[in-house]
């Protein structure tokens, strides 16, 4: 347990120039990639201590999740080798072995392949994305259009969690549109876009189930009824809100309904989840902080995880399209999250924690190499131009280097308060897809993955804004709602 405190301006002492920082981050990414290739190629993740592979979905996740980062960082040979490997191994292997959450398959595999295709123009990547994602289509043939959460490709079976039968999570149902719409645009096969349209139609038609514009985290995909009374921007809900905003952006405002739902959600966030004891409310109080809490069983209960640290980034992005004053709120929240990081002995933050009476209590004390906070720093840097966000990101990178590195890659730090307890033996693919990508881009030029042209998926795969001609052919807006063609559903 430790109290919240601010250490603003303490973390910008003699930093190396930006190009040098970018190169260091590039080298770190390369170590993680090389370790994966050497010890774990064909597997989902690297075990960075034992130099072995580890599997989860059986989809060579690190290979696919890393493709666009390899391309962006200019590792052309490594990129070509990875594409060749996929061309000869991927589909056959996937169809024999893949099993797991449809959500993860879409954000990591479909998104990773599409992004690498759009960046490189390598058609084989689109072909693999198309073939693979076609196998996921049956998961959406439910009464509501909401997905069955799991799939087993070998046995062509969809299934749900034993402990939550007939349920799917908000984030799992609502974080597919960017990938599926892009896939439809690129292939001309509208099955994917229609899946996404139907899901948003469900939410637009069920607004009476929302609580101040916010949605509970679990839904019955048969009845369409929500089965919990919790709201948050945390695990199981997080990227649903992110995709409302980003779908509005990628469709150039064509999905007006998504924009409306996003604005309603932010209004609800400010009303019931935004905790702020700073500035105007308490100008002399030392422990100034602002964060996004959660509600469980209709009561505030700020049991949170690291996943929720994406919120300042999302809110700052939203401030460019809707309420520009939200940028300041995003900065206040991000400053608190920076203080939480730099208040631990490692400069990294725990994976789960709760806040009570202005005091932070760490629960799961590990740092899992997650990207959410550097992602927020990236957006804040792009929208404010304030070096402060780069310095914070650099300090997090240095902590990752100091405490998580091995000879083969990076492992999750066991205890952010006692870094001497070392790391465990797993390097998740999002380290290469997201954490290192955002760190690299924050020290580059803003024209590199220009936010006026690209939207980052929740797995940090940049996808181009949809073409206006495709949008004109596929969408009409009536009263702010997207019309969909339901003939084939």
Please answer whether residues 153 and 108 qualify as being in contact, where contact means their C-beta atoms are separated by less than 8 angstroms: no
CA–CA distance, 373 with 69 (Å, rounded to integer):
18
Closer by beta carbon to ligand DMJ, 57 or else 329: 57
Shortest distance, CB of residue 324 to ligand DMJ, whole angstroms?
26
Query: Pattern of binders to ligand DMJ over 260-299, x per CB under 6 A?
Result: ----------------------------------------
CA–CA distance, 252 with 249 (Å, rounded to integer):
5
Please answer whether residues 374 and 435 qualify as being in contact, where contact means their C-beta atoms are separated by less than 8 angstroms: yes
Shortest distance, CB of residue 172 to ligand DMJ, whole angstroms?
10
Shortest distance, CB of residue 459 to ligand DMJ, whole angstroms?
5
**413 interacts with ligand DMJ by CB under 6 A:** no
Shortest distance, CB of residue 56 to ligand DMJ, whole angstroms?
11
Shortest distance, CB of residue 244 to ligand DMJ, whole angstroms?
14
**307 interacts with ligand DMJ by CB under 6 A:** yes
Shortest distance, CB of residue 442 to ligand DMJ, whole angstroms?
17
Please answer whether residues 373 and 306 qualify as being in contact, where contact means their C-beta atoms are separated by less than 8 angstroms: yes
Which stretch, 209-217, 276-284, 294-302, 370-378, contacts ligand DMJ (CB under 6 A)? 370-378
Residue 231's DSSP bridge partners are 295
Residues 418-437 that bind ligand DMJ (CB under 6 A): 430
Residues in Cβ contact with 475 at an 8 Å cutoff, skipping those fewer than 6 apart: 251, 254, 255, 482, 483
Closer by beta carbon to ligand DMJ, 263 or else 457: 457
Residues 221-240 that bind ligand DMJ (CB under 6 A): 239
Residues 389-408 that bind ligand DMJ (CB under 6 A): none
Which stretch, 273-281, 346-354, 364-372, 481-489, contacts ligand DMJ (CB under 6 A)? 364-372
Closer by beta carbon to ligand DMJ, 239 or else 288: 239
Shortest distance, CB of residue 235 to ligand DMJ, whole angstroms?
8
Closer by beta carbon to ligand DMJ, 412 or else 459: 459
Closer by beta carbon to ligand DMJ, 388 or else 461: 461
Which stretch, 255-263, 290-298, 341-349, 365-373, contacts ligand DMJ (CB under 6 A)? 365-373
Shortest distance, CB of residue 139 to ligand DMJ, whole angstroms?
18
Place of tokens 């839904």: 219
Shortest distance, CB of residue 309 to ligand DMJ, whole angstroms?
9
Selected binder of ligand DMJ within 370, 388, 390, 437 (CB under 6 A): 370
Q: What is the dihedral of CA 434, 440, 443, 445, to 10 degrees?
A: -90
Residues 239-258 that bind ligand DMJ (CB under 6 A): 239
Shortest distance, CB of residue 448 to ligand DMJ, whole angstroms?
21
Selected binder of ligand DMJ within 455, 458, 466, 484 (CB under 6 A): 458
**459 interacts with ligand DMJ by CB under 6 A:** yes
Residues 156-215 that bind ligand DMJ (CB under 6 A): none
Query: Pattern of binders to ligand DMJ over 318-357, x per CB under 6 A?
Result: ----------------------------------------
One-letter-per-residue 3-state SS of the chain: CEECCCCCCCCCCCCCCHHHHHHHHHHHHHHHHHHHHHHHCCCCEEECCCCEEECCCCCCHHHHHHHHHHHHCCCHHHHHHHHHHHHHHHHHHHHHHCEEEHHHHHHHHHHHHHHHHHHHCCHHHHHHHHHHHHCCHHHHCCCCCCCCCEEECCCCEEECCCCCCCEEEHHHHCCCHHHHHHHHHHHCCCHHHHHHHHHHHHHHHCHHHCECCECCCEEECCCCCECCCCECCCCCCHHHHHHHHHHHHHCCCCCHHHHHHHHHHHHHHHHHHEEECCHHHCCCCCCCCEEECCEECCEECCEEEHHHHHHHHHHHHHHCCCCCCHHHHHHHHHHHHHHHHHCCCCCCCCCEEEEECCEEEECCCCECCCCHHHHHHHHHHHHHCCHHHHHHHHHHHHHHHHHHECCCCECCECCCCCHHHCECCCECCHHHHHHHHHHHHHCCCCCCCCCCCEEECCCCCEEECCCHHHHHHHCCEECCEECCCCCCC
Which stretch, 44-52, 349-357, 366-374, 437-445, contacts ligand DMJ (CB under 6 A)? 366-374
Which stretch, 136-144, 188-196, 367-375, 396-404, contacts ligand DMJ (CB under 6 A)? 367-375
Closer by beta carbon to ligand DMJ, 378 or else 430: 430
- Using CB under 6 A, count the residues that bind ligand DMJ: 8
Residues 47-86 that bind ligand DMJ (CB under 6 A): none
Binding residues vs ligand DMJ (CB under 6 A): 239, 307, 370-372, 430, 458-459
């Amino acid at each position: 347990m430790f109290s919240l405190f601010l250490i603003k301006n303490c973390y910008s002492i003699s930093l190396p120039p930006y190009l040098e920082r970018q190169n260091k981050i590039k080298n770190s990414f390369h170590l993680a990639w090389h370790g994966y290739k050497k010890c774990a190629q064909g597997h989902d993740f690297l075990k960075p201590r034992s130099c072995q592979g580890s599997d989860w979905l059986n989809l060579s996740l690190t290979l696919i999740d890393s493709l666009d980062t390899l391309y962006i960082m200019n590792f052309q040979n490594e990129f070509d080798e990875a594409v060749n490997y996929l061309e000869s191994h991927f589909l056959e292997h996937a169809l024999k072995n893949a099993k797991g959450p449809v959500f993860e398959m879409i954000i990591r595999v479909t998104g990773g392949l599409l992004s690498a295709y759009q960046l490189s123009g390598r058609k084989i990547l689109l072909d693999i994305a198309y073939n693979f994602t076609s196998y996921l289509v049956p998961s959406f043939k439910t009464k509501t259009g909401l997905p069955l959460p799991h799939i087993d490709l070998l046995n062509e079976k969809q299934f749900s969690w034993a402990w939550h039968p007939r349920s799917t999570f908000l984030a799992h149902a609502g974080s597919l549109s960017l990938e599926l719409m892009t896939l439809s645009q690129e292939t001309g096969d509208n099955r994917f876009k229609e899946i996404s349209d139907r899901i948003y139609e469900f939410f637009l038609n069920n607004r009476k189930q929302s609580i101040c514009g916010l949605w509970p985290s679990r839904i019955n995909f048969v009845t369409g009824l929500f089965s919990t009374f919790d709201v948050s921007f945390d695990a199981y809900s997080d990227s649903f809100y992110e995709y409302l905003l980003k779908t509005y952006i990628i469709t150039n405002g064509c999905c007006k309904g998504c924009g409306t739902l996003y604005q309603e959600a932010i209004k609800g966030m400010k009303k019931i989840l935004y905790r702020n004891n700073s500035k105007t409310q308490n100008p002399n109080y030392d422990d100034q902080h602002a964060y996004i809490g959660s509600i469980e069983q209709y009561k505030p209960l700020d049991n949170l995880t690291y996943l929720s640290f994406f919120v300042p980034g999302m809110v700052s992005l939203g401030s460019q399209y809707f309420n520009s004053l939200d940028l300041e709120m995003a900065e206040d929240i991000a400053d608190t999250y920076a203080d939480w990081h730099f208040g631990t002995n490692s400069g990294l933050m725990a994976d789960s924690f709760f806040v009570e009476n202005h005091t932070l209590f760490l629960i799961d004390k590990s740092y899992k190499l997650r990207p959410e906070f550097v992602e927020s720093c990236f957006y804040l840097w792009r929208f404010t131009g304030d070096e402060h966000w780069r310095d914070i990101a650099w300090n997090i990178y240095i902590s990752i280097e100091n405490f998580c590195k091995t000879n083969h890659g990076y492992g999750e730090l066991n205890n952010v308060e006692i870094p001497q307890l070392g790391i465990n033996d797993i390097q998740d693919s999002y380290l290469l897809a997201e954490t290192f990508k955002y760190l690299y881009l924050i020290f580059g030029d803003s024209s590199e993955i220009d936010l006026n042209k690209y939207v980052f998926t929740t797995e940090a795969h940049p996808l181009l804004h949809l073409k206006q001609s495709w949008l004109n052919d596929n969408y009409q807006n009536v009263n702010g709602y997207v019309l969909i063609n339901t003939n084939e559903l």
